[in-house]
Amino acid sequence: MNKVITHHKVLGDERGQLVAIESGIHIPFEIKRVFYIYGTQPNVPRGQHSHHKTQQYLIAVSGSCQVTLDNGQEKVTHILDQPHIGLFQDAMVWGSMHDFSPDCVLLVLANEHYNDSDYIRSYPEFNRILAK
Ligand code: TYD
């Protein structure tokens, strides 16, 4: 799998920390949508789907979680446990978010507006499309 984790520069001083993420500079797409997930449970995974076109960039801005990415050939689990770590999930990569800490706020930046028809929620269907 290509490089998917980025450790962003932390711009900190005595007032606290700041991380800046810019389209086309730190992430490889223009941001059209932002959503965030919180109030999760450690034993309840989320995601478990892929997208035809949507690319995502995930940051645990508070707490921690794990994200397993699967491109059909390789499956890698990443730990997001610092607010300056970003994870790129490309289109046609199956993603599962799991093992959330109670304080986790998972921020997701996306290159497309929400569109239910962009989702692939069946793993066999995901494999069928990859095999085409
Ligand atoms: P869902 O895709 O199940 O979340 P997850 O990827 O974390 O498992 O989304 C939960 C609900 O929110 C579902 O009804 C779709 C809706 N939703 C939007 O309306 N806009 C969005 O951008 C997202 C990601 C979800």
pLDDT band at 1 (very low <50, low <70, confident <90, very high): confident
- Distance (angstroms) between ligand 1 centre and the Cα of 13 equals 36
For all residues of the chain together, what is the average pLDDT? 97
Residues carrying an active site annotation: 49
Residues 57-111: tens digit of each pLDDT: 999 999 999 999 999 999 999 999 999 999 999 999 999 999 999 999 999 999 9
What is the per-residue DSSP string for the chain?
----EEEPPP--BTTB------BTTTBSS---EEEEE-S--TT--EEEEEESS--EEEEEEES-EEEEEE-SS-EEEEEE-STTEEEEE-TT-EEEEE---TT-EEEEEESS---GGGEE--HHHHHHHHH-
Q: 35: CA distance to ligand 1 center in Å? A: 9
How many Å apart are CA 85 and CA 118, to the nearest integer? 26
**Half-sphere exposure of 92 toward its Cβ, with a 13 Å CA cutoff?**
11
Q: Which ligand 1 atom sits closest to the C-alpha of 97?
A: 7
The CA distance from 67 to 5, in Å, is 11
Output the ligand 1 site: residues, CB below 6 A.
Answer: 33, 35, 37, 46-47, 114
pTM above 0.85, yes or no: yes
How sure is the predictor about 3, in pLDDT bands with cuts at 50, 70 and 90? Answer: confident
Counting atoms of ligand 1 from 1, which one is nearest the CA of 110? 22
**Cα–Cα distance for residue pair 43/74, rounded to 1 Å:** 24
